[in-house]
Structure 1
Amino acid sequence: MADVGVRAARREDVPAVTSTQIRAWRVAYRDVLPEGQLDQMTGPSAEEMWSHQWEEAVVAPPTRRHRLLVAVETEDALASLASGHGEPGGQRVVGMASHAPAEDPDLDPDTTAELLTLLVDPDHVRRGHGSRLLNATVDHLREDGVATVVTWAFADDKPMIGFLTSAGWGPDEAERVLDMDRPVRMIRLTTDIS
């Protein structure tokens, strides 16, 4: 049986964080984004860019309110050796969440934060990692004095919207349309954590 938890990301987590992001996007967005755009966002050159971005997020975040959290499973000795993944008792990154002060011009960054990323590796979904990441994010933001959290989601990403709605989030009136070889609509969701 694996122990699970959430902690702050470390520099050595960057390869696993990058891999988690790319794997999660390939599965979650395959029916949401145009194929060519998704390939470009998850290909080898993008992987290098994302790796650099996540390393910067860990070692030199722009402010103390910028955070990258990871969901981990700590494998027991038998499972670890049988799977061939790491040392017995080693932690495997299986999900990630990042947040920062809100940047949308209609929001107050002193009281509103943005959930920038919430992803779970496709092989580890439906095990509570997303909920643990979301709860840990809210705990950190409450400690920072944040009252409201927003996030942007693709309007066609029904699983993410359903997950957030079940956790008490709801759409506000803001939306944007990205030009990705065809228009791709995003909606902003919000929740009160005060």
Structure 2
Amino acid sequence: MSSPTADVSVRVAWADDAPAIAELQLRTWRTTYAGLVPADALPDDAEAAAAAWRAALDRPGDARNRVLVALERNRVVGFAICSPAADPDCDPIADGELAELTVDPDERGRGHGSRLLQAAAETMAADRFARAVQWVLATDDALRAFLAGAGWAADGAHRELDLDGSGSTLVKQIRMHTSLTEVTP
């Protein structure tokens, strides 16, 4: 007799997932950017965020723009965004970008992030990208360690984002990358 297993999966997001993705993103940003960005500078309108997500999921700008969701039963517990890399030193044909990898803080350590990361790599490899990049907060040691454990490494690129246009809310990021040529979609 086998023991019961968790009902977990990763799939391409549907437009109906928009409210759950928006709520998760807004809630997670409060934790991710705590101490870096004033709380009142972060968006908090879940309906507006859900509408934006629904529009993006209904009509992606590029066939290679994909959103994946991690599910625990039928509940969205994480999401990943894959697209062609937009950095000037990247090749949008050969380089894919993991624009966001978000897992509910209460669900971390249960394999959702690993499943999402693997599915994102497989999705980008299926789209014929040879390399994947992701911008990571310079202060997010946990995410950098997670990616490094999966074979990603810093590629030397770094940037500082001015989130409010005034120069008072700056966020430093480093870019990590990995080869997708060994990934089997």
TM-score, L = length of structure 1: 0.84
Instruction: Name the amino acid aligned to 1:21.
Output: Q
Identical positions, percent:
43
The one-character-per-residue Cα deviations of 1:11-46 (angstroms, maximum 9, x if unpaired) are 111111011111222122214x13x2x4322422xx
Whether contact under 8 Å (2:19, 2:47) holds in the other structure is no
Residue 24, structure 1, aligned to residue 28, structure 2: yes
Residue 73, structure 1, aligned to residue 72, structure 2: yes
Out of 163, 176, 185, which is 1:189 matched to?
176
Instruction: Name the amino acid aligned to 1:126.
Output: G
Q: After the TM superposition, which of the residue ranges 182-191 and 13-22 deviates more from structure 2?
A: 182-191
Whether contact under 8 Å (2:98, 2:134) holds in the other structure is yes
Query: Which residue in the other structure is 1:8 paired with?
Result: 12
Whether contact under 8 Å (1:57, 1:67) holds in the other structure is no
Instruction: Name the amino acid aligned to 2:146.
Output: F
Where has structure 1 moved over 6 Å in runs of 4 or more? none
CA distance in 2, matches of 1:183, 1:3: 40
Q: RMSD of the alignment, in Å?
A: 1.5
Query: Which residue in the other structure is 1:52 paired with?
Result: 51
SS of 1:110's partner is coil
How does 1:110-125 map onto structure 2 within 5 Å?
110-125=93-108
Query: Which residue in the other structure is 1:86 paired with?
Result: none
Deviation at 1:182, TM superposition (A): 4.3
Where in structure 2 are there 5+ consecutive unaligned residues? none
SS of 1:108's partner is coil
Count of matched residue pairs: 173
CA distance in 2, matches of 1:101, 1:93: 24
Instruction: Name the amino acid aligned to 2:131.
Output: T
Q: Relative to total residues, which structure has the larger helix share, 1 or 2?
A: 1
The one-character-per-residue Cα deviations of 1:125-182 (angstroms, maximum 9, x if unpaired) are 1111011001001111111111100011110111111111111111112111123524
How does 1:1-194 map onto structure 2 within 5 Å?
2-31=6-35, 33-34=36-37, 36=38, 38-44=39-45, 47-74=46-73, 91-180=74-163, 181-194=168-181
Deviation at 1:53, TM superposition (A): 2.6
SS of 1:65's partner is coil
TM-score, L = length of structure 2: 0.87
CA distance in 2, matches of 1:52, 1:164: 31
The one-character-per-residue Cα deviations of 1:29-66 (angstroms, maximum 9, x if unpaired) are 214x13x2x4322422xx34432331122110011100
